[in-house]
Amino acid sequence: MTTVTLHKLEKSFGARTLFEDVDLTLSAGKRYGLVGANGSGKTTLMRMLSGDETPSDGTITIPKAARLGVLRQDRFLAEDRLVIDLAMDGDEEVIGLVREQERLVAEDRGGEAAELEERIRLADGYTLEARAGQILEGLGIPNEPQRRPLRTLSGGFKLRVLLAQVLLGRPDVLLLDEPTNHLDILSIRWLEKFLATYDGCAVIVSHDRRFLDNVATHTLDVDFETVLEYVGNYTSFEAQKQLMLGQKEAENARLEEIIAEKKAFVERFRAKASKARQAQSRMKQLEKIEVIEIKPTSRRAPRLKLEQTRPSGRDVLTAKHLDKSYGENVVLKDVELTVRRGEKIAIIGANGLGKSTLVRILAEKLEPTRGEVTWGHEVKVGYFPQDHKELFPDPNRKVLDYLWDLCPLEGTSFVRGQLGRALFSGADVDKSIAQLSGGEAARLLFARLSVEKPNVLLLDEPTNHLDFESTEALAEALQTFEGTVILVSHNRWLVSELATRIVEVKPDGVVDFPGSYQDYLARSGDDHLDAEVVLKKAKEEKASTDKKTDGGWEERKKKQNRLKSLENRLQKVNREVETTEARLKEIKEGWGVDGFYERTSAADVEKLHAEEKTLGASADELVAEWEKLELEIAELRSALSEPG
């Protein structure tokens, strides 16, 4: 069984110490949730465990034969390779044996190649493709797209392929940094079950409180310039840490009282001959009393303040008959929404039903296929996109300059003050946007909203990259914000804390409920933010369907016809994707051909730019439609494969 040992581990950057004197033994069969404030050193510790970074002092010992599985979200994969092949690459042992066997066969060394058969069998090599398919399906990539090139997947699904690679490698030590990013609720639940049966040593960084509660058997807390281990999940750790700090503070308070009392006695009686011996005794006692040093915590919460320049009119927003389609793929159908000043609306629902699409339409970042959006009198909208890059056109822009561009008439002290509230201080303000972590980028966008002072906030998954302290600070800022909030979130805690109205997007339309999330649950009994409830409901619906016998043949025939229609459309979409991407590639390669601009008129260059932009948008829409088609096809195939 693999054990990872950290001895006297230290990491410093200049005068700043992240942690020191860390002594830990991480054992197989245990899952360690690694927690701490943004910037406290979690990612640095993960990089040291993976060998990507060296400690300032101390050692990390991992057995040489141990297989290490590391989720690196900045890793790139070959876009033209099949998804299933890329996933199978994760089992390096099997892939290495197979490639060696192929080499021997090519060199006409059949005898040696045959000797590898047993080694491949013992390494489960002949189940590799099946294992890869199961993991990909668990992560939400069904069989059909597994046989497609990686380039046909969206960015979020490409990260799932990376995760599949890591899990397939059967690592002895598993290092996962934010593995639930871009996973939907059912995929997260699958990952939880996978990890529950994992018998190696896992270290997991996550800002998803529920995920850590369901997965972690132990918690590693990066704080007070060290790393401490607690037994139990995140909720248990929080209680233990508060108790420990309370005990330390109480003990220090008691010792301070004793010290003050003895000092007072010494000062009062040191000159009296009759009390001199007692005073001397107390002096010796004082020398032995040691107050426990409590180092400052690295936990820092931003001081977010969201204000409006002036209130909007009473009627904030009217959306009528909104449709959004990508070809035959209908994402939104006949959505109507009226918003009044001061409402705090949470838009919830399962993944892939158009929540972000709706917000982007409201933010006027996307045109509806049909319908119109009308904003009311004096409305000023502040937008927080799920993809932060939407508001960062120049990744090389410095943090200070980015915010100053939004308020050029203000002085440096004002801009630095706003950044300070978002936890950017000192050299942090000179970072380029490209250097920011996801949490830092999110906090910079909150600083932007503080400067812009809108009276309506459109927020699409604002807590995705935030630590627990920042999430709580955001909740407090939104609660005190006097304007209107329209929020898309999978964070049940935030929705529960904030929402005064729930809009749930469902496959058959939108449910608009005037009340809190708790009231909505009590009324509907449905909870798309809870994996257990989603799974339970899916099972109940399947059981109910199985019980229905009347019209069963007709219903099955309808599904078969629908499946055939979808498969035909999918083939057409794939051809359109290939044609579109081929033309895009042709245009892009043309820009770099010698003498291109000399031979091409300005008008033709402009036409090519316009065509490139149109094709890019078309490609995005086609890929979105492809994903939707794949999902429905997988669901129909599953339904048709059930008995009865």
Mean pLDDT is lowest, of 176-180, 391-395, 618-622, for 618-622
pLDDT digits (tens, 9 = 90+) for 353-391: 788 899 999 999 999 999 999 999 999 999 999 989 999
Mean pLDDT is highest, among 165-174, 183-192, 261-270, 566-575, for 165-174
Do 279 and 265 touch, CB atoms closer than 8 A?
A: yes
Indicate the CATH number of 554-641 among 1.10.287, 1.10.3470, 2.40.50, 1.10.10: 1.10.287
What pLDDT is stored for residue 530 in this prediction?
A: 57
- Summary mean pLDDT of the chain: 87
Q: Directed axis angle between helix 531-547 and helix 185-196, to 10°?
A: 100
CB-neighbour burial class of residue 90 (10 A; exposed 0-12, middle 13-18, buried 19+): buried
Could you tell me how many helices (H) and strands (E) the chain has, helices first? 22, 18
pLDDT digits (tens, 9 = 90+) for 513-544: 999 988 887 777 655 555 555 555 555 554 55
What pLDDT is stored for residue 551 in this prediction?
A: 47
Do 619 and 578 touch, CB atoms closer than 8 A?
A: no
Mean pLDDT is lowest, of 16-20, 113-117, 291-295, 450-454, for 291-295
Domain boundaries, the chain: 78-167, 238-288, 315-533, 554-641
Confidence band, pLDDT 50/70/90 cuts, at residue 350: low
- Which comes out higher in pLDDT, residue 558 or 228? 228
Going by their DSSP bridges, the two strands 344-348 and 456-460 should be labelled as unpaired
Token pair belonging to 503: 């809009």
Confidence band, pLDDT 50/70/90 cuts, at residue 558: confident
3 state DSSP class of 422: coil
What pLDDT is stored for residue 198 in this prediction?
A: 95
3 state DSSP class of 323: strand
What pLDDT is stored for residue 155 in this prediction?
A: 72
3 state DSSP class of 32: strand
What phi-psi label fits residue 551: left (phi over 0), alpha (psi between -120 and 50 degrees) or beta? left
Is residue 344's pLDDT more than 80? Answer: yes
Edge-to-edge, what's the strand order for the sheet holding 3-13?
16-27, 3-13, 57-61
Mean pLDDT is highest, among 202-211, 393-402, 599-608, for 393-402
- Which comes out higher in pLDDT, residue 539 or 42? 42
What pLDDT is stored for residue 377 in this prediction?
A: 95
Average the pLDDT over 87-101 and give the result.
93
Token pair belonging to 3: 């054990």
In sequence order, the β-bridge partners of residue 6 are 24, 60
Do 130 and 138 touch, CB atoms closer than 8 A?
A: no
- Which comes out higher in pLDDT, residue 464 or 370? 370
Q: How far apart are CA 587 and CA 96, in angstroms?
A: 39
Residues 6+ apart with CB under 8 A from 307: 450, 453, 481, 482
What pLDDT is stored for residue 26 in this prediction?
A: 97
Confidence band, pLDDT 50/70/90 cuts, at residue 637: confident
CB-neighbour burial class of residue 386 (10 A; exposed 0-12, middle 13-18, buried 19+): middle
Is residue 167's pLDDT more than 60? Answer: yes
In sequence order, the β-bridge partners of residue 339 are 317
pLDDT digits (tens, 9 = 90+) for 262-321: 788 778 776 666 666 777 777 877 777 777 777 777 788 899 999 999 999 999 999 999
To the nearest whole percent, how much of the chain has pLDDT over 70?
92
What pLDDT is stored for residue 351 in this prediction?
A: 66
Confidence band, pLDDT 50/70/90 cuts, at residue 546: very low
Is residue 202's pLDDT more than 60? Answer: yes
What pLDDT is stored for residue 644 in this prediction?
A: 47
Q: Which amino acid is present at 437?
A: S
What pLDDT is stored for residue 398 in this prediction?
A: 97
**How many whole angstroms from its chain centre is CA 314?**
36
Do 299 and 545 touch, CB atoms closer than 8 A?
A: no
Task: Please report the DSSP string for 221-243 in residue order.
Answer: EEETTEEEEEES-HHHHHHHHHH
CB-neighbour burial class of residue 253 (10 A; exposed 0-12, middle 13-18, buried 19+): exposed
Task: Please report the DSSP string for 444-456 in residue order.
Answer: HHHHHHHHH--SE
What pLDDT is stored for residue 594 in this prediction?
A: 77
Q: How far apart are CA 234 and CA 640, in angstroms?
A: 41
Instruction: Tell me the CATH class for 315-533.
Output: alpha beta
Q: Find, among 286, 295, 478, 451, the residue nearest to 380 by Cα.
A: 451
3-state DSSP: the chain helix, strand, coil percent, rounded to 5? 50, 20, 30
- CA dihedral sign, ordered 332, 333, 334, 339: negative
Alpha-helical (H) ranges within 7-154 are: 42-50, 83-88, 92-106, 110-122, 128-138, 143-146
